[in-house]
Chain A
Amino acid sequence: GENVEQHPSTLSVQEGDSAVIKCTYSDSASNYFPWYKQELGKRPQLIIDIRSNVGEKKDQRIAVTLNKTAKHFSLHITETQPEDSAVYFCAAKDQGAQKLVFGQGTRLTINP
């Protein structure tokens, strides 16, 4: 079955700097790759997603890149702000089987 590995588990950056979180997946049938943000005590919420026929997608300060050949995808946050502090999860989904598997999460801390 699908296995999603996420690194690093914790990340601390200075406010204004960029943050990068990386994920790899194992199932070549996966074709949808969302990223979720979870604030303390809250439910995960989608921040950006990408389909396998697209290499890169941007939404303001957030971007996701996908290398389907290498089976890895990354989240890039630029100009980080204190409100970006949270746990971030990557995930992979086989749109056919509908199985959605998450990575282990990255605790991002933005230092003022």
Chain B
Amino acid sequence: NAGVTQTPKFQVLKTGQSMTLQCAQDMNHNSMYWYRQDPGMGLRLIYYSASEGTTDKGEVPNGYNVSRLNKREFSLRLESAAPSQTSVYFCASSGTQGALGEAFFGQGTRLTVV
């Protein structure tokens, strides 16, 4: 089973460039999440989607947009990248009932903005 798949794994951007991080899950989960993890820091929630068709802001949404394309896919877009957005980005998904709501993480995208 693939679980949660993120692309790309690594990316270098110049300040002001845009890019979209892709995330797909094959576990039929309703909820999906985007987190950023700065060096030595915790996981901060950027945006989440409780179900297909809905998205909500997390703790640090400024500078990001998301799209819940369908139940499987949840993308994160940086419209105009800034050095402060240099981080490791994790996508995660979870079921709602039955499975206790365990969140499964993708392998992460290491983004550097120069």
Which residues of A does B touch, CB under 8 Å?
1, 6, 32, 34, 43-46, 49, 51, 89, 91, 93, 95, 97-105
Contact = CB atoms under 8 A, between A and B. Distances in A.
Contact of A104 (B33, B42, B51, B96): B42
B48 A98 contact: yes
26 contacts: A32-B100, A32-B101, A34-B103, A43-B90, A43-B107, A44-B43, A49-B100, A49-B102, A97-B56, A98-B30, A98-B50, A98-B94, A98-B101, A99-B45, A99-B48, A99-B50, A99-B58, A100-B103, A101-B58, A101-B59, A102-B42, A102-B45, A103-B42, A104-B41, A105-B41, A105-B42
B105 interface: yes
B74 interface: no
A102 B102 contact: no
Top 6 nearest A-B pairs (CB, nearest first) are: A98-B50, A104-B42, A43-B105, A102-B43, A98-B31, A105-B42
Nearest to B43: A102
A24 to B, nearest CB: 14
B89 to A, nearest CB: 11
B21 to A, nearest CB: 15
A43 B103 contact: no
B41 A102 contact: no
A32 B58 CA distance: 18
Interface in B32-47: 33, 35, 41-45
B105 A44 contact: yes
Instruction: Classify chain B: how many residues form its interface, as a range.
Output: 20 to 34
Interface of B: 30-31, 33, 35, 41-45, 48, 50-51, 56, 58-59, 90, 92, 94, 96-97, 100-103, 105-108
Nearest to A4: B42
Contacts of A97: 50, 56
A44 B35 CA distance: 11
B106 A43 contact: yes
B35 A102 contact: yes
